[in-house]
């Protein structure tokens, strides 16, 4: 007699959960189709590898951002984290006597350390994630300017080729992304920690009452974001074979947009890993395609902003289904 | 922005305990002025220059730019939102306003453009944040990016002019009775903002929305109207500051607003307004704006590199945010 039957409710819930990734996948097919109609070369292995290379850094950043968003947090410092690690790698990898492996390990540790700082400030200091990561972003990008005041530095060719080349038909960048997801994301989110992260994001108060170590869980999510930012920064270093103290700026907004596009809720507790990845590919390929469709460079920012607004607006259209303002505000 | 349940009770408890002594909100305002004194003391310790009126006059003008933007930002943060479209609203209104005014040889056109840009950007922000219910953080950042594109497209077609309306120059550089004109403008709008928040129905609606939107709706507050007014005021403030800045530096150029994203928000936070909305006011933001400007001036006087300056600025801001939370919760 109860109106929403459990089975129907859960099916609807399952659809809601996957609506973001599904629409992103469809969008991706349409965009690549349009792109290929204009430039058939894009479907060649080389073309696909170039599309992947243009998207993977954003995908890694978005996955890191998602880890934080799932706890109802927010990481505005992810772009600055990418910048600092990129500058660090570019100044140490080529010039100093340190081996590549050591620099990579140090970069990953640096990412974890920056995530740790964010996490301590947010989880233990109880500072709003917005203002906390806004402040740490200043600290990280300032540090990047100290490490490398002007674009420069160098990346060994071997390292660059290893990350941006192809293994047969498979672009290395995709292997890197898949590796990061399989080796880091999957174990974490199949463990108790992953379920705790979602629980904290869903309702921090009840999670605390249920005895979950909310602070440690939030801390872990920021460290996860830092780790993914480090991988993204290393990939960017390989792709551009240099360091740039302004390279990370766009990744803060774009990683948020890609996550939202992929169905991750900013209010926490809802989201998948595949959604943000697909969302990143959609965003990055659209931006990449602007050049192919003879869009002047002066129009790029305008169109990028417009696309973000349309994408975010489409995500907001679910509002029209709400019965009343009150029902909407309760969500 | 949702808050974890439970903090409300913790917030309410001391209010009764303190009794007729200062309310938590008043205490945070006092704290923000103490911080201002502390930073000013630091400035004086670094250089005697800060004791002279000539230097402080300069700082007052700088603080005016941040303070005027902080009016709209305070309103936006009080209703639980944020406006990050400020930098390119500044640039766009400055470039469009000065160019069109120079083209037609009429000063008032620059001010008409300021109002037009403010209203359009404000309505655009309201549309995304209120109608489509996108998080204001990412919506206004996207609007910012879009505005940057508009400014780029426009300057590609028409080069920015160096012919700045005399009135804009006067507003930024003029002197009235020994006081900088800019500061008088700020004082006027600051008084209006404090009055609006403290005495007008609009102010009560702003606090009501920031505390609980659903309750505000049920009490008959017109949510859409208040959101629109707040975002339009915020964009108008930024657009007006754009024109003043072009008068200040005698030119309008791409990227002129880029330094005005964080400082106004920092001013609001130092002023003791909660980012979660519904708690705070503009009195503290005034101290916040002055603190931010003095802090920047101190770091410049100390001659530290751009990178180190950013690190120190971020760290001090973080420490201040920390200070408020320790007392607040």
Q: Give the start-to-end residue ranges of the domains of chain A.
A: 21-294, 297-331
Position B327 pLDDT exceeds 70: no
Region for A15 from its dihedrals, namely left if φ exceeds 0, alpha if ψ lies in -120 to 50, beta otherwise: alpha
Distance from CA of B131 to the nearest CA of A (A): 8
**pLDDT for position A236:** 93
Under 8 Å between Cβ of A85 and A105? no
Which residues of chain A neighbour B150 with C-beta distances below 8 Å? Answer: 302
Residue that wins the pLDDT comparison between A113 and B28? A113
Q: What number is the average pLDDT over the span B154-181?
A: 87
Residue B241, SS3?
helix
**pLDDT for position B160:** 81
Q: How far does CA B169 lie from the centroid of its chain?
A: 21
Range of weakest confidence among A95-99, B13-17, B210-214: B13-17
Confidence of residue A64 (pLDDT cuts 50, 70, 90): very high
Q: How far does CA A254 lie from the centroid of its chain?
A: 8
Q: Using only C-alpha atoms, what is the Rg of chain B?
A: 20
Q: CB neighbours of A50 closer than 8 A, spacing ≥ 6?
A: A42
Confidence of residue B329 (pLDDT cuts 50, 70, 90): very low
**pLDDT for position B132:** 87
Confidence of residue A12 (pLDDT cuts 50, 70, 90): low
What angle (nearest 5°) sits at the alpha carbon of residue A260, between those of residues A16 and A192?
Answer: 70
For residues A311, A315, A317, A318, the Cα torsion angle rounded to the nearest 10 degrees is 170
Position B18 pLDDT exceeds 60: no
Structure tokens at A242: 């240099």
Tens digits of per-residue pLDDT, A177-197? 999 999 999 999 999 999 999
Contact between chains at A145 and B148 (C-beta distance less than 8 A)? no
Confidence of residue B272 (pLDDT cuts 50, 70, 90): confident
Confidence of residue B8 (pLDDT cuts 50, 70, 90): very low
- Phi, psi dihedral angles at A98 (to 5 degrees): -60, 145
- Long-range pairs, B208-215, Cβ under 8 A, ≥24: B208/B278, B209/B79, B209/B80, B209/B277, B209/B278, B210/B78, B210/B79, B210/B80, B210/B276, B210/B277, B210/B278, B210/B279, B211/B277, B211/B278, B211/B279, B212/B278, B213/A329, B213/B80, B214/A326, B214/A329, B214/A330
Residue of A nearest to B152 (CA): A298
- Phi, psi dihedral angles at A170 (to 5 degrees): -95, 120
Position A218 pLDDT exceeds 90: yes
**pLDDT for position B157:** 82
Tens digits of per-residue pLDDT, A16-56? 667 788 888 888 898 888 888 888 888 888 888 888 888 99
Contact between chains at A146 and B305 (C-beta distance less than 8 A)? yes
Position B19 pLDDT exceeds 50: no
Residue that wins the pLDDT comparison between A16 and B30? B30
Position B231 pLDDT exceeds 80: yes
Which residues of chain A neighbour B308 with C-beta distances below 8 Å? Answer: 142, 146
CB contacts < 8 A (A, B) = 161
Confidence of residue B305 (pLDDT cuts 50, 70, 90): confident
Chain B contacts in chain A segment 133-172 (CB below 8 A)? 134-139, 141-147, 149
% of chain A at pLDDT higher than 70: 90
Report the C-alpha gap between A204 and A191 in whole angstroms. 19
Report the C-alpha gap between B114 and B123 in whole angstroms. 14
**pLDDT for position A322:** 67
DSSP A169: T
Query: Mean pLDDT, chain A, as a whole number?
Result: 86
Position B15 pLDDT exceeds 70: no
- Interface ipTM above 0.90: no
Tens digits of per-residue pLDDT, B71-115? 999 999 999 999 999 999 999 999 999 999 988 888 899 999 999
Q: Which class is B23-328 in CATH?
A: mainly alpha
Question: Domain residues of chain B, as ranges?
Answer: 23-328
**pLDDT for position A330:** 63
**pLDDT for position A7:** 54
Pairing of the two strands A170-171 and B179-180: unpaired
Contact between chains at A266 and B269 (C-beta distance less than 8 A)? no
Range of weakest confidence among A9-23, A147-161, A218-232, A235-249: A9-23
Report the C-alpha gap between A28 and B144 in whole angstroms. 26
Q: What number is the average pLDDT over the span A160-167?
A: 82
Confidence of residue B314 (pLDDT cuts 50, 70, 90): confident
For residues A42, A43, A44, A50, the Cα torsion angle rounded to the nearest 10 degrees is 50
Confidence of residue A231 (pLDDT cuts 50, 70, 90): very high
**pLDDT for position A1:** 45
Distance from CA of B187 to the nearest CA of A (A): 27
In this complex, which of A142, A253, A325 lies closest to B141 when CB atoms are compared?
A253
Report the C-alpha gap between B145 and A192 in whole angstroms. 39
In this complex, which of B131, B262, B321 lies closest to A132 when CB atoms are compared?
B321
Confidence of residue B62 (pLDDT cuts 50, 70, 90): very high
Q: Which position has the token pair 């089975």?
A: A7
The whole-model pTM stands at 0.84
Position A321 pLDDT exceeds 60: yes
Under 8 Å between Cβ of A205 and B6? yes
Confidence of residue A9 (pLDDT cuts 50, 70, 90): low
**pLDDT for position B1:** 43
Range of weakest confidence among A199-203, A317-321, B11-15, B99-103: B11-15
Whole-Å CA distances, A269 to A66, A69, A261, A317: 10, 8, 16, 20
Q: Would an 8 Å CB–CB cutoff place A63 in contact with chain B?
A: no
Under 8 Å between Cβ of A107 and A121? no
**pLDDT for position B66:** 96
Q: Which class is A21-294 in CATH?
A: mainly alpha
% of chain A at pLDDT higher than 90: 38
């Amino acid at each position: 007699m109860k109106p929403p039957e459990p089975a129907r409710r859960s099916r609807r819930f399952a659809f809601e959960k996957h609506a973001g990734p599904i629409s992103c996948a469809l969008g991706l097919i349409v965009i690549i189709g349009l792109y290929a109609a204009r430039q058939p070369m894009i479907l060649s292995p080389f073309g696909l590898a170039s599309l992947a290379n243009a998207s993977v850094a954003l995908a890694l950043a978005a996955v890191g951002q998602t880890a934080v968003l799932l706890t109802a947090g927010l990481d505005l410092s992810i772009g600055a984290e990418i910048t600092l690690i990129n500058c660090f790698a570019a100044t140490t990898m080529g010039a100093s006597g340190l081996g590549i492996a050591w620099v990579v390990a140090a970069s990953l540790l640096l990412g974890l350390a920056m995530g740790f700082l964010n996490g301590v400030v947010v989880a233990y200091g109880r500072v709003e994630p917005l203002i906390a990561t806004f402040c740490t972003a200043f600290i990280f990008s300032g540090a990047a300017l100290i490490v490398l005041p002007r674009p420069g530095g160098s990346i060994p060719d071997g390292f660059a080729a290893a990350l941006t080349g192809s293994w047969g038909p498979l672009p290395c960048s995709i292997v890197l992304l898949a590796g990061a997801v399989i080796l880091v994301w999957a174990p974490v989110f199949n463990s108790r920690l992953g379920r705790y992260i979602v629980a904290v994001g869903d309702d921090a108060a009840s999670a605390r009452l249920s005895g979950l170590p909310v602070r440690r869980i939030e801390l872990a999510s920021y460290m996860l974001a830092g780790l993914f930012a480090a991988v993204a920064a290393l990939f960017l270093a390989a792709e551009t074979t240099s360091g740039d103290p302004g390279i990370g700026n766009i990744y803060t907004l774009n990683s948020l947009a890609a996550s939202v596009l992929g169905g991750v809720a900013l209010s926490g507790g809802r989201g998948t890993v595949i959604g943000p990845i697909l969302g990143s590919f959609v965003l990055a390929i659209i931006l990449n395609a602007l050049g192919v469709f003879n869009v002047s460079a002066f129009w790029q920012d305008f169109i990028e902003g417009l696309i973000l607004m349309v994408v975010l607006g489409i995500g907001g259209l679910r509002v029209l289904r709400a019965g009343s303002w009150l029902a909407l505000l309760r969500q | 922005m949702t808050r974890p349940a439970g903090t409300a009770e913790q917030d309410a408890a001391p209010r009764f305990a303190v009794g007729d002594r200062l309310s938590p909100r008043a205490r945070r305002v006092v704290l923000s002025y103490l911080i201002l004194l502390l930073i000013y003391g630091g400035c004086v310790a670094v250089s005697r220059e800060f004791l002279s009126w000539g230097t402080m006059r300069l700082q007052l003008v700088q603080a005016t730019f941040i303070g005027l933007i902080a009016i709209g930002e305070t309103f936006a943060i009080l209703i639980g939102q944020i406006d990050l479209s400020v930098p390119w609203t500044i640039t766009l209104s400055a470039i469009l306003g000065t160019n069109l005014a120079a083209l037609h040889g009429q000063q008032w056109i620059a001010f008409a453009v300021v109002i037009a840009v403010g209203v359009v950007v404000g309505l655009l922000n309201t549309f995304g944040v209120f109608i489509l219910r996108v998080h204001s953080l990412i919506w206004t950042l996207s609007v910012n990016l879009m505005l940057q594109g508009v400014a780029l497209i426009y300057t590609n077609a028409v080069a920015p002019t160096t012919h700045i309306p005399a009135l804009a120059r006067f507003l930024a550089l003029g002197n009235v009775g020994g006081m900088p004109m800019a500061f008088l403008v700020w004082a006027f709008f600051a008084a209006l903002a404090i009055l609006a928040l403290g005495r007008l129905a609009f102010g009560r609606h702003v606090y009501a929305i920031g505390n609980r939107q659903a309750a505000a709706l049920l009490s008959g507050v017109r949510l859409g109207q208040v959101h629109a007014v707040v975002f339009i005021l915020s964009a108008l403030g930024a657009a007006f500051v754009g024109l003043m800045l072009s008068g200040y530096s005698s030119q309008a150029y791409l990227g002129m607003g880029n330094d005005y994203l964080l400082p106004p928000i920092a001013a609001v936070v130092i002023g003791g307004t909660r980012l979660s909305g519904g708690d705070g006011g503009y009195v503290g933001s005034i101290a916040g704006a002055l603190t931010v400007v003095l802090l920047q001036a101190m770091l410049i006087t100390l001659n530290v590199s751009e990178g180190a300056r950013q690190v120190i600025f971020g760290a001090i801001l973080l420490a201040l945010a920390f200070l408020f939370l320790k007392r607040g919760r």
